[in-house]
Structure 1
Amino acid sequence: MPRTARLDIPGLLQHVIVRGIEKRPIFLDDEDRAAFVERFSTLLVDTGTHCYAWALMTNHFHVLIVPQRETLAHFMRRLLTGYVVTFNRRHNRVGHLFQNRYKSIVCEEETYLLQLVRYIHLNPLRAGLVETMAELDHYPWCGHSVLMGNVKLAGQGTKEILKRFSRGPVKARALYRQFVADGIDQGCRDDLVGGGLRRSQGDVSSTEDVESFDARVLGSGAFVEQLRQQEGLQDKLDPAMSLSQLIDRVGSLLNVSPEAIRRPSKARLPALARGLVCYLAVRKLKLKGIAVGETLCLGPSGVSLAIRRGERLILEHPEVVEQALALDQFCFPIDLNS
C-alpha cells in the first residue's frame, strides 16, 4: 500500500527515529558522534527548533523536537544529508547511510512530553552503552547529561523540562533524575514508539475503540481531532475513501450486497462483512467508530465486537486488507469457504 504522508507543520512535537540502512552502524566512533552532535546543535540554533531529548545509539538515534520556522522534513534533510557527506568522506565510502524513510510520530505534548524524554534518555542504559545511572548522568551522547548540567548543548531546552519538576534548578534536577530512574523497570515502551494504528490509545476493547486515532500520532482521540482542524493537515488526516465506498468494496470482496452489510443480520457472511468494514474503517481509515456504528445500526459495544470479528478475519486472510483498501486495482472476490 502507498505510504501515508507525514504530518509536518511547524509547532508540532515530533519523536523522530532514524535508523541505519540494513541496520548498519551510523556512528563508528566518538569522532562521528561529535560531528553529528555539532551539526545537530548548529541546526537547532539556526532554525530556532526546540529540542527536549535526544540519544545516539549505534545504528540509530532518537530526537524529540518541535520545529518552529521550518518543517521537520527540511530540518531532517539538512541534518542527515550533511552528516552523510561528512561520514562518507571520513570513512572513504559512498552510498546511502540511513534508511530511506525515517519514522516521525506527532505527540500530544502535555500528556507524553515527560514520558518521551524519559524513554529516549534511558535508551543508552537499556542498550548497555552505559551500565548505571551515574554513567548516564555524564554520558555525552544523550540529552540526559545536558539536563543534569554535566554537558552543554546549544539548542537543547533544559528549563522547559526542569521547570516541570521544581522552580529551583538543584531540586528540579534531583526530581528529574529520580523520575528517569523510576522508568528503568518499565523496559521497552512499545506504546511510545510502535504498536501499529492503535498506538495512541493502547490495547482496549471497550467503547474506547470508537475514538479517533492515527498511525502517525501518539495522543488521545481529542488530540487527533484537533490536528484535523489545523491548516495544512486536513487533507493528510482525511480518510483515503468514504465509508460508503468501503462498504461497496467489502461487498464486492466477499460477495455480499451493500444493503446486507448495512442492516443487522446474524448470517455468517454479512456478519463477517460488517466486521471487516468496522475493522478497516476504524483501524485503517481512521473513521470515527460512532459514525460507523450509525451507518451499520450498531452501538459502541457492537462496533467493538465487530472490530474484533474483522481482526480475526484479517488474521486468517491477511490479503484482504491489501485488496479492500487498494484504490487502483480490481478486487477479486475472496472465497471464505476455501
Structure 2
Amino acid sequence: MVRKPRLWVPESFYHIVCRGNRRDALFKDIGDFKVFLHMLQEVNEQAPFELATYCLMTNHFHLQLRSQVQPVSKVMSLLNKRYADYYNTKNSITGHVFEKRYFDKIIYSNEDMLEISRYIHLNPLKAGMVKTPESYRWSSYRYYLYTKKSALLNSDVILDSFSGSVTEKREKYRMYLNEEIEKGQHLV
C-alpha cells in the first residue's frame, strides 16, 4: 500500500513526535542524548529549519519546528536515518529503531504554539521523571528561563507572545507553565 504524502506548509510550525520501536529506549545514556542534539544541529546545517522547542524523553522525542526551505519530511528523514544508523551501530543491532513514521501536526495559531510548547516542556514532569520542568536536562525549557543562548533554538518564536523585556517575557512564560502545573494536570 502506498503511503499518503505528508502535507508541507512552509510557513507553519509542526509538532513532531517520534517513538522508539516497541517503545524501547531511544536514549540509553547521556552520550545518546548528546549525539542526538549534535545530529539535530548537523541536519539543520544541511536542511535548515527553525526549532522553537524540544524535549528528548527516554523512549521518544518532541520537536516543535518549521522548515521553510525543504519539506519537514526531508528534515525528519535525515535526522531519523542518522540517529538509527548511530543507534544500531552503537548497540550492535539491526532493524527498526523507530516505532513507525513520526507523528506530525501542523500548528496554525499562536495559542496552539504556546500550548504545544507548554505540553513539550512539561512532558518530563508529567512522566514523573523530575519534580520541576527546569530540572530536566534534555529539554529546551532551561533556555527559555535563562540567558544562555542556543545556536539551534529560536525561543523568541514563543517568548514574543508575551510583552515586556526579555526577563519579563521569560518570567511570564514560567508563570504560563506553572498555571498548568498548579492545576495538577501534569502531576503523576
Query: TM-score scaled by structure 1?
Result: 0.51
Which structure: larger Rg?
Answer: 1
User: Equivalents in 2 of 1:67, 1:15: separation in Å?
Assistant: 12
> 2:146 maps to what in 1?
149
Structure 1 equivalent of residue 5 of structure 2: 5
1:111/1:163 CA distance change after superposition, 3 Å = closer
SS of alignment partner, residue 183 of structure 1:
helix
Distance 1:45 1:130, change over 3 A: farther
Partner residue in 1 for 2:179: 182
Q: As a proportion of its length, which structure holds more strand?
A: 2
What SS does the corresponding residue of 2:7 show, helix, strand or coil? coil
Instruction: Report Cα offsets for 1:186-241 as digits up to 9, x if no partner.
Output: 636xxxxxxxxxxxxxxxxxxxxxxxxxxxxxxxxxxxxxxxxxxxxxxxxxxxxx
Compared with structure 1, are the counterparts of its residues 44 and 104 closer, same or farther at alpha carbon in structure 2 (3 Å cutoff)? same
Higher relative contact order (CA 8 A, sep 6+): 2
Q: Answer whether contact 1:39 1:83 (CA < 8 A) is retained.
A: yes
Query: 1:167 maps to which residue?
Result: 164
CA distance in 2, matches of 1:171, 1:150: 12
Deviation at 1:70, TM superposition (A): 0.7
The answer (yes or no) to whether the contact 1:53–1:143 under 8 Å persists in 2 is: yes
Equivalent pairs, count: 185
Q: Matched residue of 1:114: which SS?
A: helix
1:100-249 equivalence runs, <5 A: 100-132=100-132, 136-149=133-146, 152-184=149-181, 185=183, 187=185
Amino acid at match of 1:120: I
Letter in 1 for 2:65: I
Structure richer in helix, relative to its length: 1
Aligned residue identity for 1:18: C
Q: Could you say if the C-alpha distance between residues 111 and 173 of structure 1 is closer, same or farther in structure 2, counting changes exceeding 3 Å?
A: closer
What TM-score, normalized by structure 2, do the two folds share?
Answer: 0.89
- How far is the alpha carbon of 1:43 from its aligned partner? 2.4
Gaps of 5+ in 1: 189-338
How does 1:24-63 map onto structure 2 within 5 Å?
Answer: 24-63=24-63
Q: Cα RMSD (Å) of the superposition?
A: 2.0
For 1:108 and 1:180, locate their aligned partners in 2 and report how far apart those are by CA, in whole Å: 21
For 1:239, the equivalent position in structure 2 comes to none
Question: How far apart in 2 are the matches of 1:93 and 1:165?
Answer: 47
Cα pair distance change 1:125/1:70, threshold 3 Å: same
* Structure 2 CA distance for aligned equivalents of residues 61 and 182 of structure 1: 24
Contact 2:26/2:59, CA 8 A, preserved across alignment: yes
Query: How far apart are residue 110 of structure 1 and its match?
Result: 2.2
Question: d(CA) in 2 for partners of 1:101 and 1:89?
Answer: 21
CA deviation digits over 1:21-68, x for unaligned, max 9? 111111101110110011113323443311111111111111111111
Q: Residues 72 and 179 from structure 1, CA distance in 2 versus in 1: closer, same or farther, beyond 3 angstroms? A: same
Distance 1:21 1:113 in 2: 28
C-alpha separation in 2, matches of 1:119 and 1:110: 14
SS of equivalent to 2:42: helix
| 1:77 Cα offset (Å) | 0.6
**Could you tell me which residue of structure 2 aligns to residue 254 of structure 1?**
none
Distance 1:45 1:177 in 2: 30
Matches within 5 A, 1:269-284: none
Q: Distance in 1 between matches of 2:34 and 2:43?
A: 14
What's the CA shift for 1:145? 1.1
Partner in structure 1 of residue 80 of structure 2: 80
Q: Determine the C-alpha separation between the residues in 2 that align with 1:95 and 1:2.
A: 21
Equivalent-residue separation in structure 1 for 2:44 and 2:2 (angstroms): 32
Counterpart CA distance in 2 for 1:109 and 1:182 is: 20
One-letter identity of the residue aligned with 2:151: A
| Superposition deviation, residue 2 in structure 1 | 7.3
Distance in 2 (CA, whole Å) between partners of 1:21 and 1:52 is 26
| Residue 9 of structure 1, CA deviation | 3.8
Distance in 1, matches of 2:128 and 2:148, equals 20
1:290 match:
none
